[in-house]
Amino acid sequence: MLILCSGSKTRAELLKKAGIKFVQKSCKFDEESVKSNDPYEFVSIASLGKFRECVKCFENENIIAADTVVTDGKQILRKAKNEEDAKRILLAQSGKEIKIVTSMWVKYERRIFGRTDETVYEFEEFDKKDLDNYLKSGEWRGKAGACMVEGFCKKYIKNVQGYETTAMGLCVEELLKIIGEQNAH
C-alpha cells in the first residue's frame, strides 16, 4: 500500500488504472517557496520538498510524492491563476514543442528512490474556437501549463517522445519498476 501525497485526481486515476493500491493524503508544502526558473531544478526541488514533508507526517509508510511542470524552452508554464492566464499559457504551447517534466520521490520498503522524467510534445496550432471552449470549461484548472494531453491537447499532438503518464503527472511505468509489478493488481 502506498500513500499518494497529492490531491491530484489525475495521479490517483493513474494509480487506479495501474492496479496500485494506495490512499491519498497530503502534507503542507509551499511550492511558491521554490525560487528557480529552471524547470528540471524547480520540479526536483518541489517534489523533494513535498516528499520530505510527507515523510515527517507518515514516517513508517510507503510514500510517493511528485510534481510536474510544463516548459516551452523559455519559461516554466505553471498552473494558471485564472482564465486569462490559462489562455496566455496555452497560446505559448500552440504550434510549438513543449516538454512536460515530472519528478517523483518514492519511499518503498525503507528504500528511497528519486527520478525526473520528461515527455516532449509537438503541437499543431490550437483552433481558436476550440481553445475558447476549453477555457470556458475550466478543465485546465489545477493542471501544469493548463495542459491536458489526455483531453483538450490530444487532438493537436503532432509528435510525442516519452510516456503519456509522465505528462499526466506520474510516470507509472517507472513507478512499477520501483515497487515491482507484483505489487500492482
**Catalytic residue annotation:** 67
- Contact present, 122 and 97 (Cβ < 8 Å): yes
Helices 83-91 & 128-137 angle (0-180, nearest 10): 140
Q: Record the cell numbers describing residue 86, joined without a space.
A: 490559462
Candidates 58, 144, 38; CA nearest to 105 is: 58
Helices 9-18 & 172-179 angle (0-180, nearest 10): 60
Residue 114 DSSP code: E
